[in-house]
Structure 1
Amino acid sequence: MIDAHQHFWQLANPFTDWPTPDLALIHRDFLPADLAPLLADAGVTGTVLVQAAPAVEETRFILKLAERAAHVKAVVGWIDFAATDALDQLSALVRRPLLKGLRPMIQGEPEPGWILQSAFGPLLEAMAVAGLRFDALVLQHQIDDIVALAAQHPDLLIVLDHCGKPAIASGDSAAWRNSIARLAAQPNVYCKVSGLWTEAGDDWSAATIAPYVEAVRAAFGTQRLMWGSDWPVLNLAGGYRDWLDQALALFDDLDAGERAAVFGGNAARFYGFSYD
C-alpha cells in the first residue's frame, strides 16, 4: 500500500511556522523514525512526502529526509509561484529525482482566482514538460478555480488534496458536491481521499465520513482516487491505523484490482514511481 499524503517537520527550522503551540497534539518534531512503526503496523510500504511550509528551504529539507527514508517514493515541494525567479527555483529543484510535484498552498491566498494569473502560465507549462504534478491545496470555495486551471492546462496532471476540504462539521455539502462534479469532469484531475477527519469536528465516524467518500467515488471513479493519511495532522483527530481501517472498510465493496489502485497503484501512476 501507498500513503499518498504525509508530512515531516522540525520545529527548530526557521521556516517551520506551523504547527503553532496551540495545536499541542502536533506541536513537536515529526520525522521518519516517528512514522516508520506506524507504516510497519499498517502494512504501508511507501509514501508521498508533501511540503508543509511555504519555503524553498523546507523543500530542500524534506528532500534530504526523503533521500534517507526508503519508504518515501515521491516528494511534493514548494516554490514561490509569484517570484520573478520562479522558473529558476523550479530548474534547481527538478534535478532532484525524488521531486515529483509542487504545491503552492492556495488555501492561504485570499484573492479569488489567484492561481489563474496569466503570469503563472509559463511556470505551469514548465511543470507539465518536466513531468511534475500539481497538488491543489484548496478550501471548498476555491475548487472551481482548479476546474478552470485544469481546463487551461490539460497536459498538467493535478490532484485535489483532502477532497477539497468539505465543510463536514457544518453539514453544508451541496456547493462542494457541485464543485466536485465539475472538477471530476476534467480528465487530468485526481483526488486524494485524505484530510477528512480533521474537517469533521468531533464526529469522524464512518457514518459521517461515508457520504463524502461516496461523493468522490461517484465523481472520480476508482482509477483517479488515492488514499492518504495526512499524518501527522491526522493526529488532531485520531490514529493512523484507525483512519486506514475506516477507509479500507469504506472501499470494501471494490474488487482486488480496484482496491489496489485506490490504496497504491493510482498514486504510483500519478506521481510516476515504481509500485510493487
Structure 2
Amino acid sequence: MIIDAHQHFWRIGRGDYSWMNDSVAPIRRDILPPDLLPLARQANVVGTIAVQAAPTLEETEFLLALADETSLVRGVVGWVDLTGDVPAQLARLAHPALRGVRPMLQDIDETDWVLREDVVTGLGEVARAGLRLDALITPRHLGAIDRLARHLPDLPIIVDHCAKPTFDGTDPGEDWRAGMRTLGMHPQITCKLSGLANEFGPGWSPDSLEPVFDHVLECFGAGRLMWGSDWPVLELAGDYEGWLETAQSLAGALSPSERAQLFAGTAAEVYALDI
C-alpha cells in the first residue's frame, strides 16, 4: 500500500496558473484524476494528497471538488491569503478533505516573508484550525522555517521536495545539509521525498540522488519522511513508475516497517488520513 503525498491537478481554463509558460509546455494541458488513476493503480497507490498549484481560493475549491468526485484524493493542501482574514477564508473552504495550506514561498522575493507578523498570525489560525503548513521552499528559506517552528511549535510543517537542494555534481551542499539538520531537530517538521528528479535535472539516477536521501533519512528518520511523486511536474524529468522505483531502490536497506512508514504511514499520520 502506497500513499502519494504530493501531486497536482489543474484545469487550464481556470486561468490562474501564472507560472505555466513555454518552459513547462509538455505539462501545459488539463490534468485531472482520470489521468492519474491508471498510474496510481499500477503503482498500488491507494490515495494521494492533491496540492495547490495556484495562489487562489478558487484553486483550493477546485481541488476540494475533485476530492468529492474521486476516492483517490484523500486530502487537499490548498492556499489562503495568510495576510488576510484567515478564519473567514477557512470557513469558506470548510471541507473534510482540507488538510493544510501552502503559500508559494519559493516565488516570494522576501526570504523572511513567512516571519512577518501578519503571516505568523495567519499561520497561528491555521494551526488552531488543526491544519498544516506545506513549505514550498529552497535552501535560502531554511533559517526562516527554523525560526517559524520555534515561534509556532504547535504548527505542523511539511518541507516539500527536500527543500529543493541545488546540486553540484551529486553534492547538495553543506549549507543545505546544515539547514536540514536543524529542521530535523523540530519534532513538528516532516519532509517529503519528492521533486528531486526535477531539481537534479537530466541524468538523475538512484546514485545521484542518494546523498540527499541519506541525509534527510538521517535528519528525519522514516517516521517523519514521506514519498511523493510531484506528478505531473515529474513528467518534465521522468515518469511516475521510474521515480517510484528509484525511491524504492534508495530505501532498499530500510526495514519493512521503515519502508511502510516512508511510502504510506508517515503521510497517513501527518495528514490524518482515514486509510
TM-score tier, shorter chain, comes to over 0.9
Instruction: Find the counterpart in structure 2 of residue 129 from structure 1.
Output: 128
Instruction: Find the counterpart in structure 2 of residue 43 from structure 1.
Output: 44
Instruction: Find the counterpart in structure 1 of residue 177 from structure 2.
Output: 177
Are the counterparts in 2 of residues 169 and 201 from structure 1 also a CA contact under 8 Å?
Answer: no
Instruction: Find the counterpart in structure 1 of residue 25 from structure 2.
Output: 24
Please, what is the CA RMSD of the aligned residues? 1.2
Task: Tell me how far 1:111 sits from its aligned partner.
Answer: 1.1
Instruction: Find the counterpart in structure 2 of residue 211 from structure 1.
Output: 211
Secondary structure of the 2:268 match is helix
Output the CA distance in 2 between the equivalents of 1:172 and 1:266. Answer: 24
Are the counterparts in 1 of residues 86 and 126 from structure 2 also a CA contact under 8 Å?
Answer: no
- Deviation string for 1:80-131 (max 9, x for gaps)? 1123x333112221x2110000001111111131001111233222211211
Are the counterparts in 1 of residues 86 and 125 from structure 2 also a CA contact under 8 Å?
Answer: no
- Deviation string for 1:52-95 (max 9, x for gaps)? 00111111111101111111110000011123x333112221x2
**Are 1:111 and 2:110 counterparts?**
yes
Secondary structure of the 1:25 match is helix
1:265 corresponds to which letter in structure 2?
G
Output the CA distance in 2 between the equivalents of 1:230 and 1:58. Answer: 17
Instruction: Find the counterpart in structure 2 of residue 69 from structure 1.
Output: 70
Between Structure 1 and Structure 2, how many residues are aligned?
Answer: 273
- Deviation string for 1:222-264 (max 9, x for gaps)? 1000000000000000010100001011101111111111100
Output the CA distance in 2 between the equivalents of 1:82 and 1:18. Answer: 22
1:203 corresponds to which letter in structure 2?
G
Are the counterparts in 2 of residues 169 and 199 from structure 1 also a CA contact under 8 Å?
Answer: no
Instruction: Find the counterpart in structure 2 of residue 7 from structure 1.
Output: 8
1:73 corresponds to which letter in structure 2?
R
1:173 corresponds to which letter in structure 2?
G
Secondary structure of the 1:121 match is helix
Task: Tell me how far 1:44 sits from its aligned partner.
Answer: 0.7
Instruction: Find the counterpart in structure 1 of residue 222 from structure 2.
Output: 222
Unaligned stretches of 5+ residues in structure 2: none
Secondary structure of the 1:187 match is coil
Task: Tell me how far 1:174 sits from its aligned partner.
Answer: 1.1
Secondary structure of the 2:74 match is strand
Output the CA distance in 2 between the equivalents of 1:37 and 1:190. Answer: 29
| Counterparts of residues 255-266 of structure 1 (less than 5 Å) | 255-266=255-266
Task: Tell me how far 1:169 sits from its aligned partner.
Answer: 5.4
**Are 1:142 and 2:152 counterparts?**
no
Secondary structure of the 2:39 match is helix
Secondary structure of the 2:45 match is coil
Q: 1:172 to 1:271 in 2, by over 3 A?
A: closer
Secondary structure of the 2:13 match is coil
Output the CA distance in 2 between the equivalents of 1:234 and 1:106. Answer: 20
Are the counterparts in 1 of residues 192 and 227 from structure 2 also a CA contact under 8 Å?
Answer: yes
Task: Tell me how far 1:273 sits from its aligned partner.
Answer: 1.2
| Counterparts of residues 183-194 of structure 1 (less than 5 Å) | 183-194=183-194
Secondary structure of the 1:234 match is helix
Output the CA distance in 2 between the equivalents of 1:172 and 1:244. Answer: 21
2:142 corresponds to which letter in structure 1?
I
Query: Given the two structures, how large is their TM-score scaled by the length of structure 1?
Result: 0.96
Unaligned stretches of 5+ residues in structure 1: none
- Deviation string for 1:126-152 (max 9, x for gaps)? 211211011000111111111111111
Output the CA distance in 2 between the equivalents of 1:109 and 1:44. Answer: 33
Output the CA distance in 2 between the equivalents of 1:231 and 1:69. Answer: 17
Task: Tell me how far 1:172 sits from its aligned partner.
Answer: 4.9
Output the CA distance in 2 between the equivalents of 1:206 and 1:214. Answer: 11
Query: Given the two structures, how large is their TM-score scaled by the length of structure 2?
Result: 0.96
State percent identity of aligned pairs. 44
